Amino acid sequence: MLPAARPFTRSPGVIGGVAVAGSAVPLLFFLPGAEERITAQAAKWGPRWNRGFARIAPRVERGAARVEPSVQKGVKAVEPPLKRAAL
């Protein structure tokens, strides 16, 4: 009897893709004309990325504004003991 195969998840594929991209991009700069191609792609896709981020930016800002008071309160509670320990 064979053991059950592990179900496929997306995270190994994403991690592998990022690793391949991260290792291949520096090698692309040795090819002639790579900078021009990258510049052309950045000019093409940059505005699209900005539009996408502009759509979610207000929600992120509202979430950050909601979390900020509790984070500041936590920092005020933790900071003095850490300063005393550092001195």
For the stretch 46-77, pLDDT in tens is 888 888 888 888 999 999 999 999 999 999 99
Statement: the pTM of the whole predicted model exceeds 0.75: no
The backbone torsions φ and ψ at residue 30, rounded to the nearest 5 degrees and listed phi first, read: -85, -15
pLDDT at site 64: 92
- CA–CA gap between residue 9 and residue 7 (Å, rounded): 6
- Helix, strand, or coil (residue 33): coil
* Residue 33 φ/ψ region, left for φ over 0, alpha for ψ in the -120 to 50 degree band, beta for the rest: left
